[in-house]
Amino acid sequence: MKVGVIGGGQLGRMLALAGTPLGMEFSFLDPAPDACAAPVGRHLCAAYDARAELQELAETMDVVTFEFENVPSEAVAYLAQHVPVFPNAESLRIARDRLCEKTMFCELDIPVTAFANIESQQQLEQAVTEVGLPAILKTRTMGYDGKGQKVLRSMDDVVGAHAALGGVPCLLEAFVDFAGEVSVIAVRGHSGEVVCYPLAHNTHEGGVLVLSVASENHPLQTLAEDYARRVLEHLDYVGALGFEFFEVDGGLMANEIAPRVHNSGHWTIEGAECSQFENHLRAIAGLPLGSTSLIGYSAMVNCIGRMPANAQLMSLKDTHVHHYGKVEKPGRKVGHVTLRSSGTGQLQQAVAAVQALVSKQ
């Protein structure tokens, strides 16, 4: 089976590493000459809307998928006319626009924080009086890893805030006083079959995920799965979906969805019977989904800016090293380390040891 992937970053790379043993062959469309998925597939080095390359994918692939959501909608529409595309265009459209996403959550009775659509500074000033402060102004599209966001703590911060984010359509969200952040990776197959991984408890720094710890029997697992199923079924979704939540008052409040494999699910490569990458591929290929059961106790530490030396990481207990093959650059996710231990105490020690190496940089 020939699989086309729009985007050739680390998610594409890990998809190919999971899918090659399944007999799949990968082609990546990515304008970056050093796309880090290139060593494990064919690299079409062109813009995401390059017609010749899209045509080639349309004509030669058995299925096309995405490793990021900000794909031009014309490209998706074109591909979908010629080849099965999963997840579908509607899922991408919703997931890449914070207003559409939040509106969908409301329609599906999934709790969200107060929000308002902002298309002008005047609208922002009005909305602040309704939503309250502190609040966060976010661009509706193209935001990731805390980019395209501005925290508004006082009316002083509101002055010129819309212009500071480029004057593009934005969403104002009331600050959530959360007890914790969790995410679920849910996968839906062609037949409607849904599997969910155990919740991950996530820690962000400066808007960037730094640590995910897989939970065992989390009290909010059932609720998270219920919310995820509502979204998957509503969108007639096929593939893996990352769904981030805030833990608030013993319940869950939806933060956002990502219509793809997700950073908070990287621990599944070693920590689950079948990884999120393999399950995404099984889903889009119409194959039976794999078990999401835990193997031991797992966590993932992101390596941001620089990878610690392999020799250091491998001299620690329970480590599994994942380089993305990227040039190191401050703030860039260049790899991750999975820790898989036989007990929670040992896992905590392993995480601390890896974090000490990561933070020394």
Enter the DSSP assignment of 159: T
DSSP of 335-360: EEEEEEESSHHHHHHHHHHHHHHHHT
Contact 168, 190 (CB under 8 A): no
By the rule CB under 8 A, 32 interacts with a second copy: no
| Residue 125 tokens, joined | 């000033």
Per the CB < 8 A criterion, the answer to whether 86 and 65 are in contact is: yes
- Rounded least distance, CB 332 to a second copy, Å: 15
Tell me whether residue 22 or residue 168 sits nearer to a second copy (CB atom): 22
Stretch that binds a second copy, among 91-99, 223-231, 256-264, 288-296 (CB under 8 A): 288-296
By beta-carbon proximity to a second copy, the closer residue of 172 and 339 is 339
Q: CA 223, CA 321: separation in Å to the nearest integer?
A: 32
Q: Does 282 bind a second copy (CB under 8 A)?
A: yes
Q: How far apart are CA 252 and CA 360, in angstroms?
A: 34
44 near a second copy, judged by CB under 8 A: no
CB-based contact 68:82 (threshold 8 Å): no
288 counts as binding a second copy under rule CB under 8 A: yes
Binding to a second copy in span 251-280, by CB under 8 A:
273-274
Under the binding rule (CB under 8 A), the answer on residue 39 touching a second copy is: yes
Strand partners, 320: 338
**List 191, 203, 315, 344, residue binding a second copy (CB under 8 A):** 315
Asked if residue 192 binds a second copy (CB under 8 A), the reply is no
d(CA 239, CA 252): 23
**Does residue 261 come out as left (phi exceeding 0), alpha (psi in the -120 to 50 range) or beta?**
beta
Q: Return d(Cα 252, Cα 112) in angstroms, integer.
A: 9
* Contact range with a second copy by CB under 8 A, out of 57-65, 119-127, 236-244, 281-289: 281-289
Cα(227)–Cα(243) distance, integer angstroms: 9
Q: What angle do CA 293, 294, 300 make, to 5 degrees?
A: 135
Q: Is 304 in the site for a second copy (CB under 8 A)?
A: no
Considering the complex, state which of residue 252 and residue 299 has its C-beta at the smaller distance from a second copy.
299
Stretch in the footprint of a second copy (CB under 8 A) among 12-20, 56-64, 69-77, 112-120: 12-20
Nearer to a second copy, 17 or 161 (CB): 17
Q: Is 290 in the site for a second copy (CB under 8 A)?
A: yes
By beta-carbon proximity to a second copy, the closer residue of 210 and 307 is 307
Which residue(s) pair with 333 in the sheet? 304
Could you tell me the smallest distance in angstroms from the CB atom of residue 123 to a second copy?
47
Residues of this chain that interact with a second copy (CB under 8 A) are: 13, 16-17, 20-23, 25-26, 39-41, 273-274, 282, 285-288, 290, 295-296, 307, 310-311, 314-315, 320-323, 325, 335, 340
